[in-house]
A = this chain, B = another copy of it.
């Protein structure tokens, strides 16, 4: 069927061992022979069989990744960054989605392990029920949790420093003149929601009374609508700044405020979190905390590389500081008096 290394070796007049050595790295082969092997390979249009190589060398040069879903632009961008990073290192990427179901997730992890991926990247879809499968996987290959992490945190993790991000948003709002704040976020069902909420509470000292108005629902547009309506009930006491747990919520809030004729940013300022593509396209464009996705991906791959190469690397937990992107939904300067 397809041409094998044996035929290349024959044509080059060397043994398969030499051919193999010449083709992979070329160390320990006399230049003349290496030359002949490479030429023969080219002439025969030799395509190495990665499966056979993987079997013998116990290395597939591929990493597996499992995310809740890809249609979520946040994960999509993350996967893309990981793919690029992996491709740069000659690694293939086996992609699976858990669809937010820990059972499915476990099955996918298992399947990836059967396929003998060299390493795993996982965004745990549940902070507790994902534990067993992910820890089991971690026993067999280097595994890093990305973005989300397991409760109580075992294993390596690469994510964003949510507290710092929320703190930056709060500082910005206060600096821009907001005297009262509210937080609209998600119930802390996963580690990110938890960290963002913690971040808000931690920033409370900057603004007296900030923790009094904390509305928790889920990360959806509808929840943004509902929460905004709640805040609108008492127009006079409406806060001057609303910190949202993510951009989707913020967009819902923005829209509900617009419907009720509330001037953003003059009457109320709004911030989001993530910087999804449409944050920029909202009316007004949304000030938000940008997830450093490229850096997350790069760091995740780097962490794996470290654990692959150097034997018993300790578990790493890396939190990357995000960046505040200021747009028209907040003011840069204090309001004129």
A contacts, CB < 8 Å to B: 2, 47-52, 54-55, 60, 62, 69-71, 73, 76-77, 79-80, 83-84, 87, 92-97, 99, 108, 110-116, 140, 221, 251, 255, 258, 277-278, 281, 283
Q: Is the beta-carbon distance between B93 and A96 smaller than 8 angstroms?
A: yes
| CA of A278 to CA of B140, assembled, Å | 41
Contact check: which of B50, B76, B96, B111 meets A114 at CB < 8 Å? B50
Nearest CB of B to A142, in Å: 15
Copies of this protein in the assembly total 2
Q: Which residues of B contact A221 (CB under 8 A)?
A: 281
The 6 closest A-B CB pairs, nearest first, are: A76-B76, A95-B95, A70-B80, A71-B77, A50-B114, A50-B115
Instruction: Determine the distance from Cα of A80 to Cα of B69 in the docked complex, in whole angstroms.
Output: 7
Q: How far is the CB of A181 from chain B (nearest CB, A)?
A: 25
Contact call B73/A80, Cβ cutoff below 8 A: no
**Which residues of B are found within 8 Å of A92, using beta-carbon distances?**
94, 96, 111-112, 115
**Bound form: Cα–Cα A4–B231 in Å:** 62
Choose among B87, B94, B96 the residue that contacts A108 (Cβ–Cβ < 8 A): B87
Looking at the complex, which one of B49, B76, B83, B255 makes contact with A96 (CB distance below 8 Å)? B83
In the bound complex, how far is the Cα of B97 from the Cα of A87, in angstroms?
Answer: 9
The distance in angstroms between the C-alpha atoms of A69 and B80, with both chains bound, is 7
CB-based contact A71/B69 at 8 Å: no
CB neighbours (8 Å) of A115 from chain B are 50-51, 62, 92
